[in-house]
Structure 1
Amino acid sequence: MAKTKAVHCNSRRCCAKNLQEPCNLNTGMRHWHRHTLALLALLLLLGGCSSLPTDFDKPVSHALADTSQSRLSQSLQPLLALNPDRSGFRTLRAGEAAFVARLRLIQAAEQSLDLQYYIWHDDLTGRTLFNQLLAAADRGVRVRILLDDLDTAGKDQVLRTIDAHPRVEIRVYNPFANRDNRLGDFAGDTRRINRRMHNKTMTADNIVTIFGGRNIGDEYFAAARDVGFGDMDALAVGPIAEEVSTQFDLYWNSQWAYPIAAFDWGKPISPAEFAAFRAHSDEFLEEAKMSEYAEVIRQFDMDALASIDQIDWTWSEWLLVYDQPSKVQAKKVDAETHLAPKLKMGMDRTQRDLIIVSPYFVPGDDITDYLLSLVDRGVRVRILTNSLQANDVSLVHAGYMRYRRALITGGVELYEYKADANPVVRQQRKDQRDRNRIGRSKASLHAKFFGFDETYLFIGSFNLDGRSVALNSELGAYYASPAEARELSEFFDEAAYDVAYRVLLNGDGKLEWVTVREGTELRLNREPDTTWWKRFSTGILRFIVPESQL
């Protein structure tokens, strides 16, 4: 796969067979699924929406062109010289390792840090990373933070305070105009607000980057007790980091990115307020160092970024693809500017083996037919998505379950992640499997990646559903990693039953879920691990909820 420059993407409607034409995939807003249309209509009548600010300073800035003097850059130059026109990749599978990588990347940066996220929780890991970003800014590092505005409710004061640091700037993408009545905004400006920035990237000194499926929050880094997300990121070095920076600049300087300081806050953050916040943040960090999670991550001693040249990199050509920020108002998918058609190109070229890992999987009729056509021409197609109990959005499962029978009948191998599974999919290295970890009551799949012919991987933020195609902006990259791609393929044959149910049709043509527990095969004739009410309510939604509203 030849390296090519990044491809920008934008779209409005969902994809059909070529991931370019309109169809009826899942185009709803997952994180608003608990709010009824009646409530939104009432809020619209009561409030309406405010106007976005128009008179504010928004200086244009770009990734630093010359970071060659940073220690990160200098330590990598010999490796880059040995691998011209390639970038180095290292998958971050275990949540603890993914957190350590981010923490060490922030601590190692000397010139710039650019961070772009859909969700940033105010919890142990989120607060710790904010604290370390401020410490980096104290060292003189320029810090730019771009957050999707959907998850910032109730966090404006914290963001404003962090933004008050002279070396930190925070912008929000596609913001809510009314900071105190977001549901009213959603009701009054639904089409715009329904489109979100789902990209997740962190880049240090324009030479090292992390991209993939993880947001910032305890459940993504194996620090939460209530739920653990099985997820996937890639740590990458070399020219791909510059392309991620180019993508970041495109979003950062776009008309849809608003400085957090642009809104009418009444008065600025005072020096006393900033000092109090810093003191509280430092106190929190000291407490965090004594936490159980701190002890856990000390065991995950992945190669320190101080010796980044010693990491076991996979060197490869690559293809970075992403949606344009103008997806907020795009009306059609274009193969030159959208991520989805580029992903389909990889599927089209698949000769033997296609693996899809997508926690939110709602293919619609056209993508279902497309996957079956791959099977017809001899491609083995295997899919891993969430079971009903593992899925954190039951409405999405209601959309997905409509297509199970057709996929299975057509020869697709379908697996559903267990709610009591290890929250990573064969993601810990053998020398890490016996380490202590935070226990959690529920597991959920959140990783989004694809495997092609046991040779290439595609890792990113893209789910195979209409929201990723049509509404949310996304980012991901192809690269060659035969060893990991083969391991992924072998996992389905050797260990999938440990973490998932294989969904099959029995002799009567009814769905059954097959797994192995304590060495014994178990066959179930209903959605595993669920209550009667959950099965009934989700089954009803299957017939009455239009996919365009999921």
Structure 2
Amino acid sequence: MIKAIRYLPLCLMLLLLFGCATLPENIDRPPSKAFINTEDTAIGTAIAKQTVKHPEKSGFLLLEDGLDAFVGRAVLARFAQRSIDVQYYLYHDDLVGRLFTNLLVKAADRGVRVRLLVDDMDLDGRDLSLAVLDAHANIEVRIFNPFSRNLNRVTQFITRFGSVTRRMHNKSFTVDNQATILGGRNIGNEYFEADPDLAFGDLDVMGIGPVPQKVSDSFDLYWNNELTYPAGVLRGEAPKPEEIEQHHIQLQNFIAEQADSIYVKALEKSTLAQKIKNNQTVFRWGQAHVVYDLPEKVQEDFDQTQLHLSSQLNTYLNNLERELTIFSPYFVPGKAGTQLLTGLAQKGARVRILTNSLSSNDVGIVHAGYAKYRKALLRGGVELYEMNKQLSSQQRKDKRGVGGSSKASLHAKSFVLDRQQLFIGSLNLDPRSLLQNTEIGVIIDQPEIAGKMADWFDQGIESVAFRLELIENSNGSESIRWHGMVDETPTTFDVDPYTGFWQRLGIGCMSLLPIESQL
């Protein structure tokens, strides 16, 4: 006690020091909204013949392949005439990030209005480059829920806990308010197959018809929210002309160097690129409902469910009759989610879940949150599958996967309801997505696409994932077995596959921590 009193002044001084994180006054934030009456744009004209045949329905094109996902964005950007609205959680300064930035700059050079809204999680040390981009006459860059620039970020995770720990996880790309892309991909190499050593199994969908306007409504809410700061306001000073010129030259030199690169050549030969070239692109049509969290969610208590995307999904789950198939990389159902899923199974619905295994999960503590619900889920009739892949310690540290088209880490966020409807978006089924962060997605009433995804699960799951089985031991205790293919041989594990004792012990210890709401 005496020692504690002796160090009290030091503790108070550190608290005062660490509490000095401040943000500039956010008043220079002119409001703007998505353009309307854009049917006469190149994209609007191109899709008019299709939309008129499907009144009040939206057309969808799955972007399952990383190359196709980038090509889809590139094609839309190159045909943009009035606007590009971009909203992402992560925006890396890597090959894909720079190619993507170049698409935006080229469009802006043609007179297209570009609004770029990025969460601040990935932007440490990049204020100058963002300010340079913002300096373009036709580009505005805004940052959501920013960290203070006068205190290091690690400290702010403590002093501003509950504020900067809640992020904008939304992902959308909308052009001329006529076409949009939603899904699980951030902007970075690992999401678009730009490096053979980096790969996430992911899923996006391109939408035309009424859907883009609904996505634009969501974008405008975030763009004009008080938590969104213009890049120039955060930096505090405009970039110098020589800084702008230097960044411009560096970007153009980089793009020129990539002209004959393996990745750019692969983009030119992607399946979608060839279909577009041969006029073979086919959209599937159906009713759709865009769902999203309101930006105020990150400021309010968790019980303000009227702000939550999840409250909009309840109706669909409550109407489920036969089958629910879930793809979720980070899956922490909690007690309520476990009760919901097992309840559906006990009513006769088949509930199947694919998530990451301990060996493929790039966030070990999330797996700790999930693992403690496995037995209850299996006991309640839920079918569990975990990715049959392995990340090295360094790859896990770098949040990286391995193996080109053979994805090491699941990143797609989707689920299929009764093979009639499907959800695709940014939402993980964990407390962080459901309660802490903001998300967006679309529910599509389209049996052909929904059935295709469910059929893939039927036919391909055993080749990419372990099936979990709950075993009752002779002493009455329960344990889990993992069944899967190893080197094309059926194999059973009685512990988490491809893991060591200390790794499993660490996960077990983490599962005891009272931090589930942060996972």
TM-score by length of 1: 0.86
Offset of 1:547 from its aligned partner?
A: 1.5
Aligned mates of 2:42, 2:275 — CA distance in 1? 10
User: Is the alpha carbon distance of 1:207 and 1:291 closer, same or farther for their aligned partners in structure 2, counting shifts above 3 Å?
Assistant: same
User: Is the alpha carbon distance of 1:452 and 1:238 closer, same or farther for their aligned partners in structure 2, counting shifts above 3 Å?
Assistant: same
Does the CA contact (< 8 Å) of 1:131 and 1:281 recur in 2?
yes
- In structure 2, stretches of 5+ residues that fail to align are 1-10, 392-401
Is 1:121 equivalent to 2:87 in the alignment? no
Q: How does 1:161-176 map to 2 (within 5 A)?
A: 161-176=132-147
Does the CA contact (< 8 Å) of 1:44 and 1:184 recur in 2?
no
Is 1:359 equivalent to 2:329 in the alignment? yes
Does the CA contact (< 8 Å) of 2:197 and 2:403 recur in 1?
no
Question: Equivalent residue of 1:506, what SS?
Answer: strand
Question: Equivalent residue of 2:258, what SS?
Answer: helix
Letter in 2 for 1:244: V
Question: Equivalent residue of 2:52, what SS?
Answer: helix
Match of 2:72 in 1: 101
Question: Equivalent residue of 2:249, what SS?
Answer: helix
Q: How does 1:74-153 map to 2 (within 5 A)?
A: 74-153=45-124
Match of 1:492 in 2: 457
Aligned mates of 2:145, 2:357 — CA distance in 1? 32
User: Is the alpha carbon distance of 1:86 and 1:539 closer, same or farther for their aligned partners in structure 2, counting shifts above 3 Å?
Assistant: same
Offset of 1:532 from its aligned partner?
A: 2.7
Is 1:501 equivalent to 2:466 in the alignment? yes
Aligned mates of 1:390, 1:121 — CA distance in 2? 22
Q: Count matched residues.
A: 495
Is 1:384 equivalent to 2:354 in the alignment? yes
Match of 1:535 in 2: 504
Match of 2:493 in 1: 524
Higher RCO (Cα < 8 Å, 6 or more apart): 1
Does the CA contact (< 8 Å) of 2:359 and 2:497 recur in 1?
yes
Match of 1:324 in 2: 294
Q: How does 1:19-30 map to 2 (within 5 A)?
A: none
Offset of 1:391 from its aligned partner?
A: 0.6
Match of 2:398 in 1: none
Letter in 1 for 2:282: D
Is 1:475 equivalent to 2:445 in the alignment? no
Offset of 1:480 from its aligned partner?
A: 1.9
Match of 2:344 in 1: 374
Q: How does 1:401-480 map to 2 (within 5 A)?
A: 401-420=371-390, 439=404, 443-480=408-445
RMSD: 2.3
List per-residue Cα deviations over 1:56-109 (Å, max 9, x = no partner). Answer: 421111101122221111111111111100110111101111011111211111
Offset of 1:158 from its aligned partner?
A: 1.1
Letter in 1 for 2:259: K
Letter in 2 for 1:548: S
Aligned mates of 1:44, 1:219 — CA distance in 2? 39
Match of 1:25 in 2: none
Letter in 1 for 2:88: Y
Does the CA contact (< 8 Å) of 1:303 and 1:310 recur in 2?
no
Aligned mates of 1:459, 1:291 — CA distance in 2? 32
Aligned mates of 2:278, 2:177 — CA distance in 1? 15
Question: Equivalent residue of 1:485, what SS?
Answer: helix
Match of 1:275 in 2: 245
Does the CA contact (< 8 Å) of 1:382 and 1:412 recur in 2?
yes
Aligned mates of 1:108, 1:54 — CA distance in 2? 37
Aligned residue among 245, 267, 276 for 2:216: 245
Letter in 2 for 1:525: D
Aligned mates of 1:41, 1:515 — CA distance in 2? 55
Q: Which moved more, 1:117-126 or 1:217-226?
A: 217-226
Offset of 1:126 from its aligned partner?
A: 0.4
Offset of 1:343 from its aligned partner?
A: 1.6
Does the CA contact (< 8 Å) of 1:363 and 1:403 recur in 2?
yes
Aligned residue among 45, 49, 60 for 2:20: 49
Does the CA contact (< 8 Å) of 1:86 and 1:318 recur in 2?
yes
Aligned residue among 315, 319, 333 for 1:345: 315
Aligned mates of 2:276, 2:201 — CA distance in 1? 27
Does the CA contact (< 8 Å) of 1:43 and 1:184 recur in 2?
no
Aligned mates of 2:218, 2:276 — CA distance in 1? 26
Letter in 1 for 2:464: V
Letter in 2 for 1:449: S
Match of 1:204 in 2: 175
User: Is the alpha carbon distance of 1:80 and 1:308 closer, same or farther for their aligned partners in structure 2, counting shifts above 3 Å?
Assistant: farther
Aligned mates of 2:424, 2:331 — CA distance in 1? 16
Offset of 1:499 from its aligned partner?
A: 0.7
User: Is the alpha carbon distance of 1:307 and 1:519 closer, same or farther for their aligned partners in structure 2, counting shifts above 3 Å?
Assistant: closer
